[in-house]
A and B are shown apart, each in its own frame.
Chain A
Amino acid sequence: MHHDAKSLVRTLAAGLLALSLLLGGFATAQETDCGGYNKPVVFAELDWDSVQVLNHIARFVLEEGFGCATDSIPGSTIPMYRGAARGDIDVVMEVWLDNVPDFWVPAVEAGDVLQLDAVFDDAIQGFYVPRYMVEGDAERGIEATAPDLRSVDDLPQYASLFRDPERPDKGRFYNCIIGWRCEQINNVKLEVYGLTDSFTNFLPGTAVALATSMESAYLRGEPWVGYYWSPTWVLGKLDMIRLEEPTYTDECWDGLEANVDTPENATEACAYPASTAVIALGKSFNDEVSEDIVAFLNAIDTPSAQINKILAHMQETDSSPAEAAMHFLETEPEVWNAWFADADLDPAILERVTAALK
């Protein structure tokens, strides 16, 4: 299906090219040639917000600064990563290294994909509950239902609050998206923290489903406990508390990872380390495109706090990822100008991008 979509895209792009030639706009607009890459640069449009905003930021610079045509194909994680390995996808703006190691590590080792530097390395993952459960919310008239809930150890005594309607004798723990690494890690954690007797391990199918369950519980002022991560708009918008877990250590994590397929044997578990997401390129794209484009993509660096800020603004103003990207480019030039300095690029490229913003 990607293939069909791509050939369609190519046909369309060729058509548009012919049209713009006809109209005479071509000669003046395109001083640059996208580093010799004569196809649209295809971005992976993964199904969460931060990556979509990053896509639009990078696409704008590639289009205006380097004269590229760009495109994106929507899909979920593995199909997109596989697309990058096959050459259907050129750029993936976020590959969470902890989440899909079974597929990703061999693909990098085989040279099918090229892994660039981190786009952020301080992402937080953990178990969250709404703040109103612990502290109450006078404004909304919500009383604190779990005033002593601080850490994962306190969860069993409050299990009845989180009642799973499908297994009414247990609480419902919203696990990570089914099939992701974090699902397996959380399975071990539930076992080691002694939560399997009092909670059901509920598997949402998609990132949207997980976010929706949290948001709709929050709107109603109801209890909710589950896994989530930052940077995301959800954690920017909703006031959630991360439950305490044993402090992360390398030994504990090794013990945890050794048991992801046999959670019942695990004896150790602890908090997530800060996670890293990297940018990745398809091999064929990396081979064909010029070095300065790769250097630019490699230099993109947006710490979690930066992305949270963009996403919170996006949610508050109800804008699209494209609009949020433009807002960032317009209001925080010092941040992204620094990427150009890091990549040591021709100043003319930066000038073209800046000019296009006006």
Chain B
Amino acid sequence: MGNLFTGSFPEGWRVPLREWTNSFVNWLVTNYGDFFRSITDTLLYVLVQVERFLNWLPWWSVVLLIGLLVWHASGKKIAPAVVLAALLVLVGTFELWPQLVTTLAIMVVATSVTVLIGIPIGIAMARSDGLKRWIQPLLDGMQTMPSFVYLVPVVMFFGLGNVAAIFATFIYAVPPVIRLTDLGLRLVDEEVVEAADSFGASERQVLWWVRIPLAVPTIMAGINQTIMMALAMVVVASMIGARGLGQEVLRSLQRGDVGLGLEAGLAIVILAIIMDRVTAGYGRRLDTTEKAV
């Protein structure tokens, strides 16, 4: 053991976490590979359909649809809709349209899955302090653990490609929507809840008709954050074979092609602005608190 006062850490002290993890992952892959494979099939089916549909639409109709969506979300302002539609056409002129559509499809599915799983967890967390104590550190871990750590096991379970990318994105992007759903529900004015109680509303009615509607702006902020984080994962996800814009960024990195990197990077930014405008816009429009007060 040597001297306690030398700088070096005792050599014999070793927690073999590395070996345990490696053999556990190998065991899971060898014995439950088919099980993981079956989980992914549904997800993949949805993704393939969404992508097929978006690819089937003529490009101008996608531009038009997104323009209309921005217009509606922003409270019928014309300028943002026109500017964003024009930016989408710009991406097309970079010859990145197919990649844009693929990334859009992955984003739609990844964020839907994330939100559909995240919001119920957030609701459960808001209703139970005990649960919150358990989930909170887990969320902290998911947000701070470098994504490269879980990239390889995710690939071993789900194979290279879009599904693995969706899982990696889920791990990285789900914490904000859970946290903000929890926060939004907890911030609801107790006096409003008491008023509902006194009118004889059941607990379920209070949740569905009082708490959740009042929490919507915060929840929308969570969804918005989640989408932004999911977009940040696009390039990382392309390292495990997700198709789309991320691959072009990666290609530019590995070839030293700065121009290509900028084009693909701009396309991702434009996608981010659109998704941000839409979710933030609807967040504001669904803000019932302003009207209620």
Whether A166 lies near B161 (C-beta < 8 A) is yes
A277 to chain B, nearest CB (A): 17
Whether A108 is near chain B, meaning CB under 8 Å from some CB there, is no
Pick the most buried of B19, B48, B246, B251: most chain A CB atoms within 10 A of its CB.
Answer: B251
| Docked pose: A166 CA to B243 CA in angstroms | 11
A77 to chain B, nearest CB (A): 6
Given that A165-B40, A202-B161, A219-B30 are contacting pairs, would A76 and B254 also be in contact in the complex, using a CB cutoff of 8 Å? Answer: yes
| Docked pose: A79 CA to B258 CA in angstroms | 11
One of B108-116, B222-230, B234-242 at the interface = B234-242
Given that A179-B254, A219-B26 are contacting pairs, would A209 and B155 also be in contact in the complex, using a CB cutoff of 8 Å? Answer: yes
Whether A179 lies near B159 (C-beta < 8 A) is no
A76 to chain B, nearest CB (A): 6
Whether A100 lies near B159 (C-beta < 8 A) is no
Name the contact of A209 in the complex, choosing from B33, B47, B241, B243 (C-beta under 8 A).
B241
Whether A102 lies near B254 (C-beta < 8 A) is no
Whether A78 lies near B240 (C-beta < 8 A) is no
Closest chain A residue to B235, Cβ basis:
A205
Name the contact of B152 in the complex, choosing from A79, A178, A203, A212 (C-beta under 8 A).
A212
Closest chain A residue to B164, Cβ basis:
A209
Whether A209 lies near B41 (C-beta < 8 A) is no
CB neighbours (8 Å) of B163 from chain A are: 165
> What mask results when residues 139 to 166 of chain B are scored 1 for a CB within 8 Å of chain A, else 0?
0000000000001100110011111000
Q: Number of contacts between A and B (CB, 8 Å)?
A: 89
Give the top 4 A-B pairs by smallest Cβ distance, nearest first: A179-B254, A205-B239, A179-B251, A78-B256
Whether B250 lies near A179 (C-beta < 8 A) is yes
Whether A213 is near chain B, meaning CB under 8 Å from some CB there, is yes
Pick the most buried of A177, A215, A220: most chain B CB atoms within 10 A of its CB.
Answer: A220
Whether A131 is near chain B, meaning CB under 8 Å from some CB there, is no
Pick the most buried of A77, A82, A100, A206: most chain B CB atoms within 10 A of its CB.
Answer: A206
Name the contact of B160 in the complex, choosing from A76, A167, A177, A213 (C-beta under 8 A).
A213
B229 to chain A, nearest CB (A): 19
A321 to chain B, nearest CB (A): 15
| Count of chain A residues with a beta carbon within 8 Å of a chain B beta carbon | 31
> What mask results when residues 1 to 37 of chain B are scored 1 for a CB within 8 Å of chain A, else 0?
0000000000000000001000000100110010000
A22 to chain B, nearest CB (A): 14
Whether A103 is near chain B, meaning CB under 8 Å from some CB there, is yes
Whether A216 lies near B254 (C-beta < 8 A) is no
Whether B204 is near chain A, meaning CB under 8 Å from some CB there, is no
Closest chain A residue to B34, Cβ basis:
A220
Whether A204 is near chain B, meaning CB under 8 Å from some CB there, is yes
| Docked pose: A60 CA to B161 CA in angstroms | 39
Pick the most buried of B29, B160, B240, B251: most chain A CB atoms within 10 A of its CB.
Answer: B160
CB neighbours (8 Å) of A26 from chain B are: none
| Docked pose: A81 CA to B256 CA in angstroms | 9
| Docked pose: A220 CA to B36 CA in angstroms | 12
Whether A220 lies near B33 (C-beta < 8 A) is yes
A187 to chain B, nearest CB (A): 12
Given that A165-B40, A206-B239 are contacting pairs, would A216 and B159 also be in contact in the complex, using a CB cutoff of 8 Å? Answer: yes
Whether B255 is near chain A, meaning CB under 8 Å from some CB there, is yes
Whether A166 lies near B44 (C-beta < 8 A) is yes
Whether A357 is near chain B, meaning CB under 8 Å from some CB there, is no
A139 to chain B, nearest CB (A): 14
Whether B247 is near chain A, meaning CB under 8 Å from some CB there, is yes
> What mask results when residues 53 to 80 of chain A are scored 1 for a CB within 8 Å of chain B, else 0?
0000000000000000000000011110
Whether B241 lies near A202 (C-beta < 8 A) is yes
Closest chain B residue to A79, Cβ basis:
B253
Given that A204-B241, A209-B160, A209-B239 are contacting pairs, would A178 and B251 also be in contact in the complex, using a CB cutoff of 8 Å? Answer: yes
B232-278 contacts to A (CB < 8 Å): 238-241, 243, 246-247, 250-256
Pick the most buried of B29, B47, B252, B256: most chain A CB atoms within 10 A of its CB.
Answer: B256
| Docked pose: A213 CA to B254 CA in angstroms | 20
A211 to chain B, nearest CB (A): 10
Given that A165-B44, A204-B240 are contacting pairs, would A212 and B253 also be in contact in the complex, using a CB cutoff of 8 Å? Answer: no
| Docked pose: A100 CA to B30 CA in angstroms | 37
Closest chain B residue to A99, Cβ basis:
B254
> What mask results when residues 72 to 98 of chain A are scored 1 for a CB within 8 Å of chain B, else 0?
000011110110000000000000000
Given that A178-B238, A219-B30, A220-B30 are contacting pairs, would A212 and B160 also be in contact in the complex, using a CB cutoff of 8 Å? Answer: yes
CB neighbours (8 Å) of B40 from chain A are: 165
Would you mind naming 28 contact pairs between A and B with Cβ atoms under 8 Å apart?
A: A76-B253, A78-B255, A81-B256, A102-B255, A103-B256, A165-B40, A165-B163, A166-B162, A167-B48, A174-B160, A177-B254, A178-B238, A179-B252, A202-B161, A204-B239, A204-B240, A205-B238, A205-B239, A206-B240, A209-B240, A212-B156, A213-B160, A216-B155, A216-B156, A219-B26, A219-B30, A219-B33, A220-B30
| Docked pose: A212 CA to B255 CA in angstroms | 23
Whether B254 lies near A165 (C-beta < 8 A) is no
> What mask results when residues 215 to 253 of chain A are scored 1 for a CB within 8 Å of chain B, else 0?
110011000000000000000000000000000000000
CB neighbours (8 Å) of A82 from chain B are: 256
A161 to chain B, nearest CB (A): 15
> What mask results when residues 181 to 197 of chain A are scored 1 for a CB within 8 Å of chain B, else 0?
00000000000000000
Name the contact of A78 in the complex, choosing from B29, B238, B254 (C-beta under 8 A).
B254
Given that A102-B255, A166-B161, A212-B152 are contacting pairs, would A178 and B240 also be in contact in the complex, using a CB cutoff of 8 Å? Answer: no
